[in-house]
Amino acid sequence: MELLVIGHAGARVLVFPTRAGRFYDYENWGLVEAVRHSIEQGWIQLYCVDSVDRESLYAFHRPPHERIARHVQYESYILEEVLPLSRQMNPSPYLIAHGCSLGAYHAVNLAFRHPHLFCKVVGLSGRYDLTVATGTFRALFDGYYDETIYYHTPCHFIPRLEDDRILHALRRMEIILAVGEEDPFAWTNRNLSSALWDKGVWNALHVWSGEAHRIEHWRQMITIYL
């Protein structure tokens, strides 16, 4: 697995690429340049990771239980290899999870499953329920559902979350969601935000005009929210 580290100090920002994206997309799309000042000032350090979406969530040639199993392996890679590497390179205790589109799903899902590790999460144009078709986007598990999928679907496990330890960690996290009002995934953002509030978890849901699901929108968003 390859990754790209940008910056020398500051909060560690774990950056997930968009659907089936690569670790260099964030830089190539001008998103790094949009926060260049914060990087040069030593306020943030980016850890842009690669994806295995074509082997996991979008591997439609494989049965659904194998897709989610590969996704779980990817999570283990992040937790057991990437985060220790980031701590070795940068002692800052402040860790942010961030991504756009499916990258937002990865960031939010990971942060909500392991909230004791993260201080902040920023999800832009995210899809937080992969089990149902939305607009022209198909459901990713073809009707298959099991406990693993449940625990990797924020719109499902957050409303039923009762673990006080996890809830306490979520309540101390800064949670920022941004999505276009015409984005086909907007309803998952609203449902997730509402579920968090029902659990006493502060979060900010920013709804932009139009679909706002493009690189140029994300460039603007990160200067505000990251």
Element spanning 109, H or E: helix 102-113
Residue ranges and CATH numbers for the domains of the chain are: 3-225 (3.40.50.1820)
Distances from the Cα of 154 to the Cαs of 108, 131, 179, 202, in angstroms? 8, 11, 16, 15
Q: Count CA atoms within 13 Å of residue 31 on its CB side.
A: 27
Residues 6+ apart with CB under 8 A from 20: 51, 53, 54, 58, 102
Q: Are the CB atoms for 38 and 53 separated by under 8 Å?
A: no
Task: Quickly tell me which residue has 């832009």 as its tokens.
Answer: 124
- Return the number of other C-beta atoms located less than 10 Å from residue 89's C-beta: 15
CA dist., res. 73 & res. 87, Å (int):
21
3-state secondary structure at position 35: coil
- Return the number of other C-beta atoms located less than 10 Å from residue 61's C-beta: 8
pLDDT digits (tens, 9 = 90+) for 57-81: 999 999 999 999 999 999 999 999 9
Residues 6+ apart with CB under 8 A from 50: 1, 2, 3, 17, 22, 23
One pLDDT digit (tens) per residue for the chain, 226 residues: 999 999 999 999 999 999 999 999 999 999 999 999 999 999 999 999 999 999 999 999 999 999 999 999 999 999 999 999 999 999 999 999 999 999 999 999 999 999 999 999 999 999 999 999 999 999 999 999 999 999 999 999 999 999 999 999 999 999 999 999 999 999 999 999 999 999 999 999 999 999 999 999 999 999 999 9
Distances from the Cα of 60 to the Cαs of 64, 68, 92, in angstroms? 8, 11, 39
Confidence (pLDDT) at 226? 97
Q: What is the DSSP letter of 136?
A: T
Which residues make beta-bridge pairs with 71?
Answer: none
pTM (2 d.p.): 0.98
CA dist., res. 210 & res. 181, Å (int):
6
3-state secondary structure at position 75: helix
